[in-house]
Chain A
Amino acid sequence: MNQFALFGNPNTGKTSLFNMLTRSYETVGNWSGVTVEKRIGTLRGRSGRIVDLPGLYSLLPLTEDEGVAARFLMEETPASILNIVDASQPERNLYLTLQLLESGRPMLIGLNMIDVARNRHISVDPQVLQRELGVPVLPIIARKGTGCTDVLHALGSLTAPGSEGFRLDYGPAVEQGVSDLCILLRTLPSSSAPRWTALQLLEGNEAVRTALAGRIDGEALDSILQQTGRELEAAGFGCDVSAHLRQVRTQRIARICTAAVQRSDQAVHTATERIDAILTHRILGIPLFLAMMFLIFKLTFDWVGSLLSDVLDGFISGMLSGWISAALGGLGASPFTHALVVDGIVGGVGGVLVFLPQICILFLLISFVEDSGYMARITLLMDRTMEAVGLSGKAFIPFIIGFGCNVPAIMAARTMEHRKDRLLTTLLVPLMSCSARLPVYALFAGVFFASNQALVVMGLYVLGMVLALALAKLFSRTLLRSEPSLFIVELPPYRMPQPLSLLRMTWEKVKGFLRKAGTIILAGSVVIWFLSNTGSSGFGVDMNDSFLASIGGALSGLLAPIGFGTWQAGAALITGFMAKEVVVSTMNIIYQVPDMAGLEHQVAAAFTPLQAFSFVTFILLYIPCLATVGVIRKETASWRWTFFSMGYSLVLAYAVALVIYQGGKWIGFA
């Protein structure tokens, strides 16, 4: 099957186009670095496969996500390229285009965001561009789907540009180097044009060099590279080879743009500038950001989320549970099956599903922030603080994504330029309170702090954030001492997220939660139910003599100083490692309650407010969940750092809970 690869600068709408061409709903956003991993989809009409790649400015990768895209071109040898060019930034975008053209593969250019360009009085003539570049150019608006059918058709009939394809003359010195290298590369089978490979080697592309390692004579290669550099210098160019290549390409782009791009000199005072004057204001900016965060919590926990949640709870614990009981009775199910389904599964899974409304609203609001363009501004506002603790302001993007789920958040750390920034962010993201911890807070805050739920929950989020910053300072001073962090951010124009795409993005994330409810939480609930009903004397023991009680009880001595030395709490913490929601499932099963009100009653009897606060703080910090541990291992490629992330969070959680509980008792709280 034909394989097409999507290449383009960051934040130019590659994933939007990918979604349109494949009917997928991959996450889109309005900042640079939304996509950090390649994704494969089948084109509508099944005419081929298309690969969505992270954005990059040139084929020389600087960050991990760019490396994914650059290596793809070498290793997976896509048959054809679909290059997205942002029509409002033609000069910058065409740089990558020229490098891609040199690879000699069949290529189609999607000239995207022609509407944005028009608003800024920039018009790019696709015909002229097509003539200058020698490959088809189609104007599109990927976000709205305009022109996407044409792209689909054109992809079907794409052919290689042939020998008279695009070619840039880099001057005698470089051209000599290129032909020398071509002779060296002659024996290698390659799907890329030898000229392209030669030029990439001259430019210093590590991805290409690594791919060729061992297959060509390294010494001969180096001697050609040095020779070319010397001759370039002798010819009177005062720069190195890569700078020279860039210069030649930039000059050519300037010529192309003179022909194809028309700009009116009319000054554009865009809405973006007016909005930024307020949102990134030097005094108002940070308070507005905090106010927005508070609004998100208010909406999630107070105004909308908990109201809907109560309705859902009424339905699940009342009607649904009743129906299931009746159905089981009708089928003549044994008491064992009845107890397993009603107490184990409905109690465990249903107890978590009750929080679906809060999770939906939180994801919806995060998607709104992602798609609006505000994300990049947050990094700008927070950079000063982040710099003070040795991080880049860009680390704040993974932190915010982490409020939804830690797994994609850790992957988002790839977009940072320094390895140290990436590692530090990866280690600290688990302190961001993800949506899985939300059911635990909602349960406990509902019982003990009902009158100011949003405030208490926001306090927990802030605590996680403050501890992350404090540890960033500590780690960057001790473990990861190296060069200072780096910060540069592109501020894309604001745009109003489209309701439909917002709902789809939210649904994609909510689906992940539902999938988890149907797998890990379901399996966990069944196992917990069994463990809570079996003991050394067999099945049907009193719960206090069950295996679960002995497992949880083993920890109780250790947990007593921090306020919750019961086997129930210990068991909930152990099972919570699978997924934090399972803490609530476990409590539901252990306390064997039919509905939220019953559980709240039980919890109120088992914990004092101070113990409850210590417990939720411990839940916030104590360990990254199983899925997060997996992704930390994958991103750091090191078991040492993975165990470190688990170890430090356990120690931190214990220390903080100890301070809260013992300190609280000392002050006089119960």
Chain B
Amino acid sequence: MYQRKISNSRCSALVHIKPGAFATVQALDAISPLLRRRLRDLGVAEGSRLKVLRLGPFGGPLTFECAGQHIGIRREDAGRMEVAPA
């Protein structure tokens, strides 16, 4: 339990990572199953290292890089992706 707390305090949502900064995926559990599968298809899984590229206009999608590929998802979903800043 204690361990978990520590890891949580380091955790953040992808949406809170500044463009240009890196993060490691901790959990995808809060994301809808369909989107989670798509992310896994694209190689985004627990432990993947991501770099946030930019945020779209007017609350538009967040773009990140993972293993050399650029992927866009909605900010709302990015808010459900648990990551640890790296």
Contact = CB atoms under 8 A, between A and B. Distances in A.
A487 B78 CA distance: 11
B32 to A, nearest CB: 7
B51 to A, nearest CB: 10
Interface in B34-86: 34-35, 37-43, 45, 53-61, 63, 67-74, 77
B58 to A, nearest CB: 5
A246 B39 CA distance: 13
A491 B72 contact: yes
Given A91-B43, A280-B63, A380 B71 contact: no
Contact of B60 (A62, A89, A376, A383): A383
Contact of B68 (A120, A246, A488): A120
Given A286-B57, A393-B61, A487-B61, A58 B41 contact: yes
B71 A490 contact: yes
B70 to A, nearest CB: 4
Given A62-B37, A246-B40, A384 B57 contact: yes
Contacts of B32: 486
Interface residues of B, number: 30
State the main secondary structure of chain B at its contact with A: mixed
A57 B37 CA distance: 10
Contacts, number: 99
Given A486-B34, A488-B73, A92 B61 contact: no
Interface residues of A, number: 39
A417 interface: yes
B68 A380 contact: no
A384 B61 CA distance: 7
A88 B32 CA distance: 28
B68 A384 contact: no
A384 B58 contact: yes
A271 to B, nearest CB: 13
Contact of B54 (A88, A250, A282, A376): A282
Given A89-B68, A488-B73, A280 B35 contact: no
A488 B53 contact: no
Contacts of B42: 57, 92, 488, 490
Interface string A113-142: 000000010100000000000000000000
B74 A387 contact: yes
Given A383-B61, A490-B69, A491-B63, A280 B43 contact: no
Given A246-B40, A381-B57, A486 B35 contact: yes
A264 B41 CA distance: 24
Contacts of A286: 57
Interface in A369-425: 376, 379-381, 383-384, 387, 393, 417-418
14 contacts: A62-B37, A62-B41, A91-B43, A277-B54, A282-B57, A383-B61, A383-B72, A383-B74, A384-B61, A486-B32, A488-B71, A488-B72, A490-B69, A491-B70
Rank and list the top 4 A-B pairs by shortest CB-CB distance, nearest first: A57-B41, A491-B70, A384-B60, A92-B43
